Structures are given as C-alpha cells and as structure tokens.
Amino acid sequence: MTVTAGILGATGAVGQRLIQLLEPHPDFELAALTASNASAGHPYRDVAKWRIDAPIPESVAETTVRRTEPDAVPDDIDLLFSSLPSSVGERVEPAFCEAGYVVSSNSSNHRTAPDVPLTIPEVNPDHLGVLEVQQDERGWDGALVKNPNCSTITMVPTLAALDSFGLERVTVSTLQAVSGAGYSGVSSMEIIDNAIPHIGGEERKMEQEACKLLGTFDGAEIDWHGVDVAASCNRIPTLDGHLENVWADTRESITPADARAAMQSYSSIDLYSSPDPLIHVFDDEPDRPQPRLDRLRGDGMAVTAGGFQETTDGVQYNCLAHNTIRGAAGASVLNGELLHKQGWL
C-alpha cells in the first residue's frame, strides 16, 4: 500500500532533505507541503531557498505550499513528516494529532514526554507501543513519534551494541557540522578558522535522549536506562557529518576487539531506509571515520566507528553520522517506515 505523505516545514534545511528522500521512495507519495504563512499560496520553487546539491524535483517544484494548520492539509494524508522549529512544533504538532494525523517529527519538543515514543528503529522499535497510552491519555485519533537529536542518533546505536557489557557511564565530546545549525545558524565570520565550544541545549538533549532510547518498554511505560551520560558539544567548520569522541565505561571487562565485534554484528532492521550494516567499523585505520570521507556511507544512513582504544574502565572510540540525513530527515523517514510496518497508518 502506498502511503500518502506530507511535510510540515518543507522549505527549511531538513524539509528539503525530506523531499530529497521521499520523492523517489517506493512506499511514500508526497501530496502536501506546508510552510509559514508568508510562503503559503506560492509554488514551492519560488519560496524554497534550495541548498541540496541536486535540482528541486520537478514533481514538487510547482506544488502550491499550504499553511501549517490542520484545516489546510487534506484529510486523506496518511502520514505527516515534521521539520518545524520546536517552538512552532510544540503548539502545532499536537493540533495535527488531535485532528487525526500521524506525525513523524524531527523537532525537539515532546521528545522526553513519557507517552511520546523517541525512536531509532534499529535500537528500540518496541517503544512505538507507547502510542496506545498516548492516544488513550490525550484522546487523539492521530499520533506523535519523535526521532532524536542528530548528535544523539550518531552515538546511541554504538552504545546499544555495547549495552550487553553493562554500560555504566558515557562521556562524549562532539565535533558538529555547521549544517546542524540550519542555513542561518552560524555565520561564516564566526566559524571559519574557528571552533565554538558550546551549542545551546545540545548537551542536555544527548544526556537525556540516550537514556530514554536505551530504556525498556514494559507495555505501559518506558523505563529509562540508568547509564550516566555527560556530553560536551562543539561546532566546527565542516559542512555535514557529526564526529564524536566517546568514552564508554562498562561493568564487565571489554577490549577494543570486543567493542569492534559487537558493533560489526549489531543488527539492522528490515526497512527500506535502514542500511546493512548499520554500523561500519574500521579495524586498522585509527584516523577514521572522517566527515568528508565517511558521512555518505549507506546513502548517509550508516553510522561509522573507529579509533578503538582500551581505557581503565572500558573503551574509547570515535563515531560519525550524516547529521541532516541519518541525524534528521532520514531518521524521520525511517520512523515513518516503522509506523507503516507496524500498522499505525
């Protein structure tokens, strides 16, 4: 069955990536694009400052952009992908869910709400079960699903692979690409020949979201993982691809060889956008992964890991993912595929 889909916030950086991923997708048919009131009523090509290194797909170029309100979107849309700013999403997304729409969202609002699944399909697909609680408690005919922050998505699959060794503490320092801040997020005068050792709110997102993602769902609620996560987030002058240095302390003894083997064998999932392998591991190249060389592995949906070293209490390694594909638009699409597979649409 083809899923009729729409995009909330279609003109921004993540919205453009969503169009790029959904337009050729075999299971989704794009039928609605929304944006701000200033853009509504105009053809998409006239209001989108297209930044993807490919032409605007002709199938959407002349599509009239709609207002981002439930009464402006067709009733027969099966699934909405949201890339709205969180300040807008916090208000608008529940209104769409109340109106009966299922929303797969990249926005940061509601990610830690007890009844909102925060999902990486290869890590915690069972967490979608909390949607039954969400619909009962909120009285929604629709549903709201979140994907995590782009830096969290990079790290958590590698932690999930190591969890059998008993994760106790994780310390992470990120080197995040400028595209993660959006088109107007960091000026060239700030970032060229520079690094910015602070990204507002990012550390807290990583520390909370990792624990929720690695938690267990008992059929009624999500019990967060007890791992202690400490993050330091830094912006550097790469275009795409978040690189992260991770220190993982475990209860059981673990060697670099153990960590590599666990990540190499970590399972993908039978969904169209999930790469196989999910985690590409470098064995003998201590200077990998690197953003320019490795961000597009698995069509931008794979996580790469390397530089494994033994520490006093566990292992240290580096990991990388494409922040606007795996870390944002691709993650929402993958959640949409999971919703479809599990019968929520």
- The two domains 3-149+328-341 and 150-322 share their CATH topology (first three levels equal): no
- Which residue in 97, 110, 127, 150 is the catalytic one? 150
Q: Where are the domains of the chain?
A: 3-149+328-341, 150-322
pLDDT per position as a tens digit, 25-36:
999 999 999 999
- Which residue in 110, 225, 242, 340 is the catalytic one? 242
291: Cβ contacts below 8 Å, ≥ 6 apart:
177, 238, 239, 240, 241, 242, 243, 320
Task: Report the length, in residues, of the chain.
Answer: 345
User: What would the CATH number be for the domain defined by 150-322?
Assistant: 3.30.360.10
Report the CATH architecture of 3-149+328-341. Answer: 3-Layer(aba) Sandwich (3.40)
Is residue 325 scored above 90 in pLDDT?
Answer: yes
d(Cα 23, Cα 29) in Å, to the nearest integer? 7
**Mean pLDDT, the chain, as a whole number?**
96
**Catalytic (active site) residue 211:** no
What pTM, to 2 d.p., does this model score? 0.96
d(Cα 223, Cα 204) in Å, to the nearest integer? 19
CA distances from 17 to 171, 186, 206 (A): 30, 19, 23
pLDDT per position as a tens digit, 36-58:
999 999 999 999 999 888 899 99
Lowest-confidence region among 48-57, 77-86, 227-236, 325-334: 48-57
Cα end-to-end span (Å), the chain: 10
CB 259 within 8 A of CB 249: no
Lowest-confidence region among 51-65, 202-216, 241-255, 267-281: 51-65
Please provide residue 279's backbone torsions phi and psi, each rounded to the nearest 5 degrees: -115, 115
Q: What is the pLDDT of residue 186?
A: 87
Please provide residue 169's backbone torsions phi and psi, each rounded to the nearest 5 degrees: -145, 140
d(Cα 82, Cα 103) in Å, to the nearest integer? 7
Sheet containing 28-35: give its strands across.
66-67, 28-35, 3-8, 79-82, 102-105, 143-146
pLDDT per position as a tens digit, 165-208:
999 999 999 999 999 987 777 888 899 999 999 999 999 999 99
CB 5 within 8 A of CB 316: no
Burial class (CB in 10 A: 0-12, 13-18, 19+), 149: buried
Identify the CA nearest to 123 among candidates 166, 152, 81, 143: 152
CB 68 within 8 A of CB 87: no
d(Cα 121, Cα 269) in Å, to the nearest integer? 7
**Catalytic (active site) residue 42:** no
